[in-house]
Structure 1
Amino acid sequence: MTIVKEKDGELESTTTTSVLIVGGGIVGLTSALLLQRQGIDCILVEKHQSTNVHPRSRGFNARTMEIWHELGVDKEIAEAGSAIGLSKGIYSGRTLLEVMSSHTLKLRSFGFGLILIVMFFLLFKLLPGIYFSLIMGAIAFSLMKLVRHVIRYYKQGSPFGLQRCTQDLAEPILLQHALTRAKQSDSSELKIHFNTECVDFIQDSNGVTATLKSRDVNGKTFEIKSKYMLACDGANSPTRTALKIEMDGVGVLSQQLNIFFRCDLSKLVVGREFSMVLVENEKVRGLFASINNSDLWVLHVAMAEGETIADYPRERCIQCIKYAIGDFDVTVAKKFNLNLDQIELKGSQPWWSRVRVAKQLVVDRIILVGDSAKNMPPWGGFGANSGIAEAHNLAWKLAAILRGEAEPSLLATYQDERHPIAAKLASLAGSFNDSRGLIQNGITTVPTMILKVFPYLILGYGYRSKSFNNQQNGFDQVDEQTRDLVGRPGTRVPHKLIRKLSNQNNEEQVENDGEEQREETKIISTLDLIDYRKSLLIVGGESRWQFVADELLRDRSSTPLKVVVAQKDFDDSGIDWSIDFGITTSGMLLVRPDGFVSSRFKDDSEASKLNLIQSLNIIYCKEN
Structure 2
Amino acid sequence: MTDSISVPSPRVLIAGGGPVGMFLAADLGRRNIPTLVVERSAKGSDQAKVMQISVRTLEFARQLGMAESMWNWGFPLDYPLDNVFLTSLDGYELGRAPGAPMGQPGSPGFTEFSPEFQTHCPQPWLEPIIEDRARSFDSVTVLRRHEFGAFDVSADGVRANVTDLETGREITVDADYLIGCEGFGGSVQVALGIPVEERTVDYSVDLEFLAHDLFAEHDKGPAVRYTLVDEGGTWGTIVAVDGTRRWRLSVYAVDRDQADHLDPHAAIRRAIGHDLEYEIIRQGRWKRRAAMAASFGGGRVFLAGDSAHCSPPNGGFGMNTGIADVINLSWKLEASLQGWAGPQLLETYSSERRPIAQLTLAESVRDYHRLVDDTASTAIRTDSPEGAEQRRMIGERLVQDSLKAWRPLGIHIGYGYPWSSIVCNEPGVYPTFDPQDYTPTTSAGFRAPHWWIEEGRSTLDLFGRSHVLLRIGDAPNAEGIISAAAASGMPLEVVDLSEKQAGPYYDVPLVLVRPDGYIAWSGSSEPRDPGRTIDTLRGAVFNATAKALALTEATL
TM-score (norm 1): 0.73
1:542 aligns with 2:474: yes
Give the Cα separation in 1 of the matches to 2:218 and 2:331.
Answer: 45
Any conservation in 2 of the 1:81–1:164 contact (CA below 8 Å)?
A: no
The equivalences for 1:419-430 within 5 A come to: 419-430=354-365
Match of 1:599 among 509, 516, 521: 521
Q: What is the Cα deviation at residue 536 of structure 1?
A: 0.7
Q: Structure 1 residue 31 and structure 2 residue 18: aligned? A: no
Amino acid in the other structure paired with 2:512 = L
User: 2:538 corresponds to which letter in structure 1?
Assistant: Y
Matching of residue 573 in structure 1 with residue 526 in structure 2: no
CA distance in 1 between counterparts of 2:361 and 2:32 reads 33
1:91–1:277 CA contact under 8 A, matched in 2: yes
Q: Which of 440, 445, 457 is matched with 1:485 structurally? A: 440
Q: Secondary structure at the match of 2:190?
A: helix
Displacement after TM superposition at 1:180 (Å): 2.7
Q: Are 2:15 and 2:148, in contact at CA under 8 Å, matched by a contact in 1? A: yes
Aligned to 1:100, the other structure's residue is in SS state coil
Q: Of 288, 295, 302, which residue of structure 2 is paired with 1:360?
A: 295
Distance 2:366 2:374 in 1: 9
Which residue does the alignment assign to 2:248?
Answer: 298
Q: Give the match for residue 534 of structure 2.
A: 616
Distance 1:494 1:361, change over 3 A: same
Match of 1:18 in 2: 11
Q: Report which stretch shifted further, 284-293 or 422-431.
A: 284-293
Structure 2 counterparts to residues 185-204 of structure 1, below 5 A:
189-204=139-154
Which letter maps to 2:211? C
Pick closer, same or farther for the CA change 1:272–1:526 going to 2, 3 Å.
Answer: same
Letter in 1 for 2:45: N
Contact 1:13 1:223 in 2 (8 A): no
After TM superposition, the structure 1 = structure 2 runs for residues 175-186 of structure 1, keeping only pairs within 5 Å, are 175-182=131-138
Superposition map of 1:333-482 within 5 A: 333=275, 338-340=276-278, 343=279, 345-434=280-369, 442-443=394-395, 444-451=397-404, 453-456=407-410, 458-463=412-417, 464-470=419-425, 472=426, 474-476=428-430
1:65 match: secondary structure: helix
Partner in structure 1 of residue 554 of structure 2: none
Equivalenced residue count is: 504
Deviation at residue 77 of structure 1 after TM alignment: 1.2
Correspondence 1:498 to 2:483: no
Counterpart-to-counterpart distance in 2, 1:72 and 1:47? 27
Match of 1:77 among 65, 70, 77: 70
Measured against aligned partners, the alpha-carbon deviations of 1:183-207 in whole angstroms (never above 9, x if no partner) come to xxxxxx2110111111222222222
2:461 alignment partner in structure 1? 528
In structure 2, do the counterparts of structure 1 residues 576 and 27 end up closer, same or farther at CA, with 3 Å as the change threshold? closer
1:62 touches 1:457 (CA, 8 Å); kept in 2? no
Task: Say if 1:457 and 1:163 are closer, same or farther in 2 by CA, change over 3 A.
Answer: farther
Residue 11 of structure 1 deviates from its aligned partner by 6.5
Moved more, 226-235 or 194-203: 194-203
1:101 to 90, 94, 102: 90
Structure 1 position 238, deviation (Å)? 2.7
Mapped pair 1:173 → 2:138: no
Distance apart, 1:556 and its partner CA: 4.6
Q: Which of 82, 92, 101 pairs up with 1:88?
A: 82
Question: Structure 1 residues 399 and 574 mapped into 2: Cα distance closer, same or farther (>3 Å)?
Answer: closer
Question: AA paired with 2:95?
Answer: R
Query: Residue 544 of structure 1 contacts residue 607 of structure 1 at CA under 8 Å; is this kept in 2?
Result: no
Relative to 1, partners in 2 of residues 1:88 and 1:69: Cα closer, same or farther, differing over 3 Å? same
Q: Structure 1 residue 438: deviation in Å?
A: 9.6
CA deviations on 1:38-57 (whole Å, 9 max, x unpaired) are: 11111101111101111211
Aligned to 2:117: 161
Q: 1:270 to 1:36 in 2, by over 3 A?
A: farther
Q: What is the rounded CA distance, in whole Å, between the counterparts of 1:437 and 1:375 in structure 2?
A: 20
1:179, CA displacement in angstroms? 2.2
Maintained 8 Å contact 1:533/1:560: no
Please state how far the C-alpha of 1:418 moved relative to its aligned partner: 0.8
1:515 alignment counterpart: none
In the TM superposition, residue 241 of structure 1 has moved relative to its aligned partner by: 2.3
1:48 aligns to 2:37 (yes or no) = no
Paired amino acid for 2:209: F
Structure-2 change in CA distance of 1:439 and 1:524 (3 Å): farther
Give the drift of 1:324.
3.7
> Where does 1:265-276 land on structure 2 (aligned, <5 Å)?
265-269=214-218, 271-274=220-223, 275-276=225-226
Taking only the aligned residue pairs, the percentage that are identical comes to 24
Distance 1:523-1:91 versus aligned 2 partners, 3 A rule: closer
Q: Considering fraction of residues, name the structure with more helix.
A: 1
Q: What's the offset of the Cα at 1:37? A: 0.8
Q: CA deviation digits over 1:80-125, x for unaligned, max 9?
A: 15337333224243xxxxx2223x33x5369x9xxxxxxxxxxxxx
With over 3 angstroms needed to count, the CA separation of the structure-2 counterparts of 1:293 and 1:39, relative to structure 1, is closer
Counterpart Cα distance in 1 of 2:374 and 2:147: 34
Are 2:178 and 2:301, in contact at CA under 8 Å, matched by a contact in 1?
yes
Corresponding letter in the other structure for 2:447: R
How many angstroms does 1:279 deviate by? 6.0
Q: Once the two structures are superposed, what CA deviation does each residue of 1:324-369 show, in whole Å capped at 9, x if it has no partner?
A: 4457x4xxx4xxxx324xx1x3333432112121111114321111
Deviations 1:473-528 (A, max 9, x none): 542477796943211101011111113xxxxxxxxxxxxxxxxxxxxxx6511111
Equivalent-residue separation in structure 1 for 2:227 and 2:172 (angstroms): 48
Larger Rg computed on CA atoms: 1
AA in 1 matched with 2:312: P
- CA 1:535 to 1:439, structure 2 compared with 1: closer, same or farther past 3 Å? farther
- Aligned residue for 1:277? 227
Residues 370 and 401, structure 2, Cα contact 8 Å, conserved in 1: no
For the aligned residue pairs, the C-alpha RMSD in angstroms reads: 3.3
Name the residue aligned to 2:387: none
Q: Report the 3-state secondary structure (helix = DSSP H, G, I; strand = E; otherwise coil) of the residue aligned with 1:17.
A: coil
Secondary structure, in 3 states, of the residue corresponding to 2:345?
helix
